[in-house]
Amino acid sequence: MKKEIQLEKATFGAGCFWGVEAAFRQIPGVIATRVGYTGGHTANPTYEAVCSHSTGHAEAVEVTFDPTRASYEQLLDVFWTKHNPTTKDRQGLDIGSQYRSAIFFHSPEQQAAAERTKEAQQAKLHWPRKIVTEIVPAPEFYEAEDYHQQYLEKRGRSSCTVELAEAASA
């Protein structure tokens, strides 16, 4: 009898969702990703509504993964390295609360791992930089419009220009 795999979900807000989604898709054991909006107060938001700063949503990536092949900690490693968790409501040239740094946990175990890794990341930083990443329960996730899904892959790219610029200046 074949054992059924129990897939898990993880949800992260790390600025513009295009580059972060592409990074998660590179991890063996990640079964699927989808970009969308979460953490706000408007049902079924559109990209234009989220960008208007009226919905409270963050651009986010929902990752479906096989925990026997990819650990939640591996996903957290990608999350911490693919954005700047010390800038409030901003990533690179993108400014607004939809670009906030957030971990939306789906279980107490995910919450504990997120808090543990946040503390470890904070310990690596030099004062006065402070990590501003929110760690909150995962609310409803609204899938973004189709043209946002796997945006970089559809264009033959693997990262955003902003990420490259930030890496060069680091």
Q: What is the CA radius of gyration of the chain?
A: 16
- CA-based nearest residue to 43, from 115, 122, 143: 143
Q: Which of 10, 16, 61, 78 is catalytic?
A: 16
16 is a catalytic site residue: yes
- Decide if 32 contacts 81 (C-beta within 8 A): no
d(CA 165, CA 162): 5
- CA-based nearest residue to 81, from 152, 155, 30, 27: 27
Active site residues: 16
